[in-house]
Amino acid sequence: MVARLDMRKLIMTVIMVLIGIAFLMPFLWMISASFKVEEEVLTFPIKWIPQNWNVVENYKEVWTGSMPFLLLYWNSIKVTVLTTLVSCTVSCLAAYGFAKINFKGRDFIFLIVLATFMIPPQTLLVTQFLLYRWLGLYDTHTGLILLNSFSVFGTFMLRQFYLGISNEIIESARMDGAGHFRIFTSICLPLVRPAIATYAILRFIWTWNDFQNPLIFLRSKELYTIQLGVQSFSDQHGSVYSLMMAASVSAILPLLIIFIIGQKNVIEGIQLGGVKG
């Protein structure tokens, strides 16, 4: 009985692995095409292992050519890392305030902040754009970083974790004369560290993949992030498929690696928040 059940499970696993490979076919095709010489990209039946390798030339053109990915990467890393840092700090502070401090109007302010979560970001673009031109934040990385830094999702998620910390710990610390900032840094932060890590990974992924904000709030080519770069690269080299695939691989790969390293955090965070970026 036990052996038979295991056998069924095993067969099902094999079938699911095959379905999984079919599901990831577009990625496999992309990687394989990025290794090929242009003439071989569209041959059929598909040669998954290239006959004539052209890896170095393809990636060299992508990384140092007319739309150098080296610069795009630097811009993206700068914007993404700073956004993640600022956003985590802002959300951590606010979440502590909303969860552990009894101030006047707290619930009402929290409700307002939550309500802004319903607003589709596109409906804000026009006036945000005008505001940015007026404030001189248009076409700057600072502006781009600020746009993603005030996350309701992050505040809400971290607040849930702070609520889980028992009030008794905090009360006794207060009795001993500790202020809120002291309690925040030395008691709460260490306790919610896993939640912060989860949120940080999610924010990193969402900011890295953000296309809409850079498209609207950046104009100078030298400030472009990777997503804008892929788009203008494909406008320039639209007919050279091997180069386009090398560019796509370059845009996707670092995130896949971060995701695979932090997969437990990412998946748990998504399940906890139940919300899309």
Partner 1 sequence: MNSEVKLETNAVQTAKSKVRKNAKKRTPFSGWKENLAGYAFIAPMFIGTSVLVLFPILSSFVLSFTDWNFVAGYENAEFVGFENFSKLLTNALFLKGLLNNIILILAIPVTLLLSLGLAVIINKYVYLKDLFKVIYFMPFISSIVAVAVVFQVLFHPTKGPINQLLLTLGVENPPGWIADVNFALPSVMLIMIWTGIGFNLIIYLAGLQNIPKELYEAAQMDGASAWSQFRKITVPLVSPTTFLLFVTGVISSFKVFDLIIVLTNGGPANSTITPVVYLYQQAFIELKTGYASAISLVMFVIILIITYIQFIGQKKWVNY
Q: Report 234-263 residues binding partner 1 (CB under 8 A).
A: 234, 241, 244-245, 247-249, 251-252, 255-256, 259-260, 263
Judged by CB under 8 A, the residue of 7, 55, 101, 261 near partner 1 is 101
CB burial string 80-117: b at 16+ within 10 A, e below: bebbbebbbeebbebbbbbbbeeeeeeeeebeeeeeee
Close Cβ partners of 223 (under 8 Å, ≥ 6 residues apart): 75, 139, 140, 141
How many residues in the shown chain lie near partner 1 by CB under 8 A? 96
Q: Is 119 in the site for partner 1 (CB under 8 A)?
A: yes
The least CB distance from residue 157 to partner 1, in Å, is 13
Q: Is 128 in the site for partner 1 (CB under 8 A)?
A: yes
| Closer by beta carbon to partner 1, 43 or else 64 | 43
What is the length of the chain?
A: 277
Q: 243: part of which helix (H) or strand (E)?
A: helix 241-261
Stretch that binds partner 1, among 43-51, 54-62, 65-73, 192-200 (CB under 8 A): 43-51
**CA–CA separation, 277 vs 275, rounded Å?**
7
Q: Is 77 in the site for partner 1 (CB under 8 A)?
A: no
Q: Report 189-228 residues binding partner 1 (CB under 8 A).
A: 205, 208-209, 211-212, 215-216, 226-227
